[in-house]
Structure 1
Amino acid sequence: MQEVFISHLKAKSRDNTSFVDEIASVLDIGYDAAYRRINLKTSLSLEESVKLAKHYKISLNNLFEVGDPNTILTQLSPRPSNEKGLELWFKQSLQNVIPLTKIKDAEIIWSGKDISLFRTLTDSHLTRYKMYVWLKDLDIEMAKSKITFDQWVKTIPTSLLQSAFDLSDIYNHINITELWNDNTVNGTLQQVLYYFEAGLVSKDMALLICDDIHDVINHIEAQTIRQSINELQNEKFFRLFKCDLHTLTNTAMIVTPHQKVFFSPFTVLSYFKIEHKDTCDMMHEFLEKQMSISKLLATSGERDRTIFFKTIHQKISIVKERINMDDKMSFL
């Protein structure tokens, strides 16, 4: 058991220092004493094990499957409550996924009830609008205020935007599979209409946000056709499935040759991080089942692919027409 524990600690340790020195520092013991523990010549005490687990952020229960076999442990993400908190959330989310770029065959699978978070964090009006919507939900003071998006967008900290762009960039360096249906874009469009009709987004800005959504869909269609994330085909693959049977959930699953982990939504921007092997295997099996009964739009035929993306673009255009109509009817 201690051997397994030590091996996990080594995997979590920093590369720029001696592992023995690191253990000695955490436990506040001498080099020789740390060496003996690492080489299993001296047993770790319970107190030492807990101290090391906390330092390296390892769950002893999860590692050794302590407790009810039908009960699993999850990690809850931080809940941002203001601009600083949102920036921290972006940075911590980046740390969760950046190691994937170093693993050749790593893949993100997105079950898209909504457009993927990564696709709405580019340098666009849509990105800034998404931040506004999140903060209106999470920041009590901002929720009470009458600040409009047009006012708030002029005050966004550069560091907040950069943290979002850094997270979005991960999507360019990893294999991606997404499951969509005809309703995946609906939530984002409903948000635009809601805040426009509430008078918190101007007509011009609402139309620009809709144009950005058109751009996102055009970009996804191009990736779907070439089956690649970027123009260097076969660098990192992209697969888009149209799922007509099961409800999609905004679950993101990360699959590597060595491990699976998935993130399940909890509240606005909050998620459960689940690493329990059997549960992750079950989720992966379910997602693969969804793919098997869905259409892979790159190979299903030009007609099916064209109809799918045309339907989404029509929804965006209908929202734009409604925004323009509401403006024309405002004298009543």
Structure 2
Amino acid sequence: MQEQFIKYLKEKSQNNTSFVDEIADVLDIGYDAAYRRINLKTNLSLEESVALARHYKISLNKLFEVGSSNSIVTELPPQPKNEKALEMYFKVSLQNVLPLTKLKSAEIVWSGKDISLFHTLTDNHLARYKMYVWLKDLDLEMAKSQISFDDWSKTIPDSLLESAFALGSVYKNVNISELWNDNTVTGTLQQILYYFEAGLVSKDIALKICDDVHEVINQTEKQTIEQSIGSPNNNTFFHLYKCDLHMLTNTVMVRTPHKKVFYSPFTVLSYFKIEHQDTCEMMNDFLNKQMSNSKLLATSGERDRTLFFKTIHKKISIAKERINMDYKMTFL
């Protein structure tokens, strides 16, 4: 196992001088100690193996490939448990996406149980409301408080907004394929109604958030027709599929010419990052099968596309009617 691992590190190394010196620097050990590890005379400790894996930016699965084929190692993102951590979550996500903008054939696939960050992180009430909902779920102090969205939105740090909008903007430069169904918007509408009925969002703001959702859907329809999120000159594509056969899960798959990675959700904003290539191929095959059983709305015909978006707009309008009805039913 160590022999295979050292061989893999040599292939990843960009040091044009001495591989032994490089290992010694990473592990903060002497030349002779590094030499003994490279030549298998001394075993690498787990801590040393992890340090080398991090330095060479390789999957920790490489350390355990000789083990059970049914076991893989996953990675967790930063946990956005407060405003500072949410800002860091956006910044780390941005750093993960930026390299994809330099690869013409890189692609992100989104299985949309909910509307993706690609569409919602813009300068509007909806983006701010999404952050409020996430923090109410993840920040224990905020969960205990009765602060309304109207009040909280006045105190959002500029740095948090800037990091969110920067992440939303970078997706314009990446190829994206998304799978939606008629219920993809439902989760967002349920969140609006929940906090409105709890008295934590005012009627006027709740209606404005719904209007932002209308606008997101209008913009998504335009992008679907044009098959592009950014300007037509940036040479990236946007493909939206209507999937009626399978349940959608908010899984994110990143495909490049060199490797595949996917992110499997398990709590709010938390994902398991999977780099094990055999597992990634299984997920990739499943998503491809989903797309093959779905309608690509850019080419399915105007009737199907118009009916799909009209159905979503109707759901948003029903949510607005409910907000207005609940407001009229109050007794003052």
Q: TM-score w.r.t. structure 2 length?
A: 0.90
State the match for 1:5 in structure 2.
9
The Cα shift of 1:22 comes to 5.6
State the match for 2:123 in structure 1.
123
Residues of 1 paired with 2:190 and 2:179: CA distance? 20
The Cα shift of 1:58 comes to 3.6
Residues of 1 paired with 2:309 and 2:36: CA distance? 59
Letter in 2 for 1:169: S
State the match for 1:258 in structure 2.
258
| RMSD (Å), alpha carbons | 2.5
The Cα shift of 1:41 comes to 7.5
Query: 2:278 aligned with 1:278, yes or no?
Result: yes
Residues of 2 paired with 1:90 and 1:179: CA distance? 23
SS in 1 for 2:254: strand
Higher mean alpha-carbon deviation, 78-87 vs 253-262, is at: 78-87
SS in 2 for 1:122: coil
The Cα shift of 1:257 comes to 0.7
The Cα shift of 1:26 comes to 2.0
Closer, same or farther: CA 84–282 of 1 in aligned 2, 3 Å: same
Instruction: State the Cα deviation string for residues 119-169 of structure 1 (Å, max 9, x = none).
Output: 211111100000000110111111111100000000000111111111112
Letter in 2 for 1:46: L
The Cα shift of 1:264 comes to 0.5
Closer, same or farther: CA 19–146 of 1 in aligned 2, 3 Å: farther
Residues of 1 paired with 2:42 and 2:173: CA distance? 40
Q: Is this contact kept in 1: 2:254–2:260, CA < 8 A?
A: yes
Letter in 1 for 2:185: V
Q: Is this contact kept in 2: 1:62–1:73, CA < 8 A?
A: no
The Cα shift of 1:37 comes to 9.2
Q: Is this contact kept in 1: 2:103–2:256, CA < 8 A?
A: yes
Letter in 2 for 1:177: S
State the match for 1:98 in structure 2.
98
Residues of 2 paired with 1:55 and 1:331: CA distance? 64
Instruction: State the Cα deviation string for residues 48-97 of structure 1 (Å, max 9, x = none).
Output: 54432244454444355131111111112222211111111111222222
Residues of 2 paired with 1:110 and 1:266: CA distance? 15
Residues of 2 paired with 1:56 and 1:44: CA distance? 20
SS in 2 for 1:52: helix
Q: Is this contact kept in 2: 1:113–1:184, CA < 8 A?
A: yes
Query: 2:171 aligned with 1:167, yes or no?
Result: no
Instruction: State the Cα deviation string for residues 5-48 of structure 1 (Å, max 9, x = none).
Output: 232354xx9xxxx98876443233578997x799x789785145
Higher mean alpha-carbon deviation, 66-75 vs 225-234, is at: 225-234
Closer, same or farther: CA 72–30 of 1 in aligned 2, 3 Å: closer
State the match for 1:46 in structure 2.
44
Closer, same or farther: CA 184–7 of 1 in aligned 2, 3 Å: same
Matches within 5 A, 1:146-157: 146-157=146-157
Residues of 1 paired with 2:10 and 2:79: CA distance? 32
Letter in 2 for 1:4: Y
Q: Alignment length, in residue pairs? A: 325
| Unmatched tracts of structure 1, length 5 or more | none
Letter in 2 for 1:194: Y
SS in 1 for 2:246: coil
SS in 2 for 1:154: coil
